[in-house]
Amino acid sequence: MKKNMALMLSVVLLALSLTACSSSNNSSNNLKASSNPDSNSASPALSGDDLAFSKFPNPVDVHIGMVVDPTDKTLPEGDSVSNNQYTRYLKEKYNINVIVDWTAATGNDFKQKVSLTIASGKLPDGMVVDDRSFMTKAASSGLLYDITDIFQQYQSSQVKDIMASTEGRALENASYKGKMVSLPNITVDTDGVHVLWIRKDWLDKLQLPVPKTVSDVEKTAKAFVDSKLGGDKMIGIAGPSKNTFPYSTFLVSSNNMGGFDPIFGAMDAYPGYWLDNGDGSVTYGTTTDNTKKTLALLADWYKKGLIDPEVGTRDNVGDPINANQAGIFFGPWWNGGYGNGDSFKNDPTANWQAYPVYSDDNKWNVHMKTTGSTYTVISKNAKPDVVKAIMIMNNALVRDEATFDLSVNVAWYPLRNVMAAANETEYEYAELLKVLKGETNPEDYNKPNSLYKLMYADAKKVKDVIKPPYDDLNVSNFSTANFGDFQRLYSIMIGDRPFTTIPIDKKVFSVTYNQTSTMETKWANLKKMEDETVMKIILGQASIDSFDKFVKDWKSQGGDEITAEVAELLKK
C-alpha cells in the first residue's frame, strides 16, 4: 500500500513538474518572440558581438562543477552557489540556467575532485581546471568538446582582442593536437616576472640604500636580521613554504610567492625551465652550473641565518610576512597588496616596495610565464547549445566584470576564467598615473568592450585611494578605507612599477610549458628527486656536491629521454 502511494505521488509530481517546465518554456518563448529578433527565423542570422551576447529563446541548462572558497563570506543570506546575483544575471540576460553538480574547496580538495571526475570519465558540461595536465589528460582521453568552430563564431570582439594580445600563445595553450578543446585563461605577462618585495620603511630606518644586486640583497638581509626590527623572530628573507616552490617551473610558471626566482634570474639561472641552447639542443635549467652556483649561494645564506629558518616547512609563506617579521620576500606584482594584506593591517607604516634584482654586471634577467594556467573544459557530451552558452558566459564576464557589484566576490561567477590582456597591468599603470596627474579624466576610459575591461572602474576610484604626491608612491599615499580597492591599486602602482618602467635585459621563455609523453609517466619521479635535492642543499642537509649526483641520476632515470623529446618540439 505504502509503495503504491509513493508511486502515485511521484507520478503526480512528475506530471506537475513537466507541465511547469513546458509552461515556463512557452511563456519564455513568447517573451522571446516579442523582445528579441533572433528567434525570428525571418531575420538575418546574427554574427559578431550580437551572436556573442545573444539570448537563448529557450532556457539552456548548464551543468558545472565549481571551486568555492570556504572562507568567502560575501554571498548574501539566502543566496547559494547556484542562486546568486551572477546566476540570476545569466538567467535574466541570456536565459542560461546554471546547475551546480558539485562544489569543492579551493586547493587540494578541488584538484582531487577534478582528478576523480576525469578518472571517472563523467565530466559536467563545464568546469574550470587549474592545471594544464588535467586539460590534456581529459583531452587525450577523448572527453572534451572540440570548440574550434563554435569559439570562432561566438567569441566577442573583446575576447578576440584579448586572445590576439598573446600573439597566438593563448590559442595554442588551449588546444590539444591542433583542436581547441578549452577556453584558456589569459593572465597578464607580469604574473610570471617575480620581483623583490622589501620593507622600505625599515631600509630608511637603517639608512640603507635599496639593494640592487645579489650581493646587495645579502648585505641588506644581514642588516635586517641584525636590526631585529621585526622582533625576536626577525627574518631577513622569507622563503618558500611547503605549498610553494623554490622557483617557478615550466608547468607552474607564474605566481610563485616566496620562491627565490629573482635570485636565480640574477645568477642567470632558470631552474625548472627548458632552455633553448640555440643550436637545436635543449637543457633543463635545473641541471645547469648556474643553478648549482645559486643553490650554493642560497645554502650559504641559509647557514648565515639570512633566510627564514623554517623555510620549506611552513604552511604558508605569508604568515611571517603578515606578522611583520620579514624584511624581504620575492613574488609577482600582486603579492604586495594581496599576499601581504594583513601586514598593512597590522602595521600601517609597512611600506612594501618592489624592485628588480640585478646580476653583478647590472642585467635584469627574468623568466617569462605561459599565457595562462586555468582552462574551462567542456564535456564532449555537452549539447551544442550548452557549449554556446558557456562561450556567452565567458564573453559576459569579460565585458561586464567591472559593472558587477563586486561586494559579492566575483569568484562566485559560474565558470569564472580570468581573461585579461597580456599587457593590462602596464597599460593600467601608465593610464592611472595620467588620471592621478590630471592629464586624463576617468570618463575618457568609458569605452564599452574595451580590451582593458577594468580600466574605467579603476580610473573612477583611483583618486579616492591614492593621495598626492604622485611622483614617488609609498604606503602613506594610499587609503585603506576600501581594502579591496587598496589591494588592487597598490599591486598595480607599486608591484607592477618595475615591470612597466624598467627595461628587462633578458626574457627567458621555456621551450615548452607542457608535458611530453614520457613525462606523463616519469616526471613525477624526477620532480620528486629535484625537490628533495634542491631543498636539502638549501637547508644544508646535503652538500653542494650532491647536486652532481642528482644531475647524473636525473639524466639516467628518464631525463635524457625527455630532453630529447623537448628538443624535438624545438624543430617544429
Partner 1 sequence: MLLPGMVWLVMFSIVPMFGILMAFQDFNPGAGLLKSEWVGLENFKYMFQLNDSKTVIVNTFIIAIGKIVLNLLIPLIFAILLNELRSMRYKKLVQTVVYLPHFLSWVIMSTIVIGIFGYYGVVNTVFGMFGFDPKLFMADAGIFRQLIIGTDVWKEFGFNAIIYLAALTGINLNLYEAAAIDGANRWQLIRHVTLPALSTTVVLLGVLSLGNVLNAGFDQVYNLYNPLVYSTGDILDTWVYRLGLQNLQFSLATAAGLFKSVISFVLIFISYRLAYRYADYTVF
d(CA 548, CA 368): 27
304 part of the interface to partner 1, by CB under 8 A = no
Q: Which of 82, 85, 106, 115 lies at the binding interface for partner 1 (CB under 8 A)?
A: 115
- The answer to whether 227 touches 206, Cβ cutoff 8 Å, is yes
174: Cβ contacts below 8 Å, ≥ 6 apart: 135, 180, 181, 182, 183, 184, 375
Residue 556 in the binding site for partner 1 (CB under 8 A): no
Q: How far is the CB of 90 from partner 1 (least distance, A)?
A: 29
Q: Which of 74, 106, 440, 557 binds partner 1 (CB under 8 A)?
A: 557
- Between 133 and 157, name the residue whose CB sits nearer to partner 1: 133
Residue 121 binding partner 1, by CB under 8 A: yes
Q: Is 524 in the site for partner 1 (CB under 8 A)?
A: yes
Residue 419 interacts with partner 1 (CB under 8 A): yes or no: no
Among 170, 181, 465, 535, binds partner 1 (CB under 8 A): 535
Classified as helix, coil or strand, 328 is: strand
Q: Is 543 in the site for partner 1 (CB under 8 A)?
A: no
Distance in Å, CB of 323 to partner 1, minimum = 12
Nearest to 49 by CA among 153, 146, 184: 153
Task: Give the three cell numbers for residue 150.
Answer: 563554435
Q: Which of 22, 34, 58, 525 binds partner 1 (CB under 8 A)?
A: 525
Q: Enumerate the β-bridge partners of residue 104.
A: 67
Distance of CA 445 to the CA centre of its chain: 25
Beta strands in 106-208, from DSSP E residues, in sequence order: 126-129, 175-176, 179-180, 182-184, 195-199
For partner 1, give the closer residue by CB, 309 or 484: 309
Q: Record the cell numbers describing residue 132, joined without a space.
A: 594544464
List the one residue from 141, 215, 446, 556 that touches partner 1 (CB under 8 A): 141
Half-sphere exposure of 237 (CA within 13 A, CB side): 34
List the grid coordinates of 517: 609523453
Q: Which of 32, 63, 132, 137 binds partner 1 (CB under 8 A)?
A: 137
Interaction of residue 520 with partner 1, rule CB under 8 A: yes
Residues 224-263 that bind partner 1 (CB under 8 A): 233, 242
Name the one range near partner 1 by CB under 8 A: 184-192, 431-439, 471-479, 527-535: 527-535
Note whether 298 binds partner 1 by CB under 8 A.
Answer: no
If one asks whether residue 204 binds partner 1 (CB under 8 A), the answer comes out as no
Nearer to partner 1, 7 or 524 (CB): 524
- Residue 51 or 519 with smaller CB distance to partner 1: 519
Q: In 3D, which of 519, 499, 500, 501 has the Cα closest to residue 249?
A: 519
4, 47, 120, 207: which one contacts partner 1 (CB under 8 A)? Answer: 120
Closest by CA position to 492, among listed 335, 367, 344: 335
Alpha-carbon span 90 to 96, nearest angstrom: 5
Contact by Cβ (8 Å): 241, 316: yes
Q: Closest separation between CB of residue 319 and partner 1, Å? A: 11
Among 315, 360, 545, 560, binds partner 1 (CB under 8 A): 315
Closer by beta carbon to partner 1, 170 or else 225: 225
CB of 539 to partner 1, least distance (A): 6
Angle between helices 384-400 and 157-164 (to 10 degrees): 80
**Which one of residues 498, 536, 547, 550 is an interface residue with partner 1 (CB under 8 A)?**
536
Q: Which residue's CB is nearer to partner 1, number 134 or number 412?
A: 134
Choose which of 91, 111, 460, 555 interacts with partner 1 (CB under 8 A). Answer: 111
Which single residue is written with the C-alpha cell 604622485?
470
Cα dihedral 329→489→501→321 (10° resolution): -10
Q: Does 133 bind partner 1 (CB under 8 A)?
A: yes
Q: Where are the beta strands (DSSP E) in 450-567?
A: 506-508
CB atoms within 10 A of CB 262: 26
How many residues bind partner 1, per CB under 8 A?
A: 37
Distance from C-alpha of 128 to C-alpha of 130, rounded to nearest angstrom: 7
381: contact with partner 1 by CB under 8 A: no
Please choose, out of 109-117, 145-153, 490-498, 506-514, the segment that lies near partner 1 by the rule CB under 8 A: 109-117
Q: Can you tell me which of 264, 523, 547, 550 binds partner 1, judged by CB under 8 A?
A: 523
C-alpha cell at 214: 645579489
The rounded Cα 75 to chain-centroid distance in angstroms is: 23
Alpha-carbon torsion 243, 246, 249, 255, what sign? positive
Query: From the CB of 322, what's the least distance to partner 1, in Å?
Result: 16
- End-to-end Cα, the chain, rounded Å: 72
Nearest CB to partner 1, comparing residues 89 and 176: 176
Of 272, 252, 248, give the one whose Cα is nearest residue 262: 248
Q: Is 531 in the site for partner 1 (CB under 8 A)?
A: yes
Q: For residues 268 and 300, which CB has a smaller minimum distance to partner 1 in the complex?
A: 300
Q: Is 387 exposed, middle or buried (0-12, 13-18, 19+ CB in 10 A)?
A: buried
Backbone angles phi, psi at 454, to 5 degrees: -100, -5
* Closest distance to partner 1 from the beta carbon of 106 (Å): 15
Q: Is 569 in the site for partner 1 (CB under 8 A)?
A: no
**CB atoms < 10 A from the CB of 77, how many?**
4
When binding is defined by CB under 8 A, the residue of 64, 96, 127, 143 that contacts partner 1 is 143
Q: Please say which residue, 47 or 120, places its beta carbon nearer to partner 1.
A: 120
Which positions lie near partner 1, rule CB under 8 A?
111-112, 115-116, 118-121, 133-134, 137-138, 140-143, 233, 242, 309-310, 312-313, 315, 380, 520-521, 523-525, 528, 531-532, 535-536, 539, 541, 557
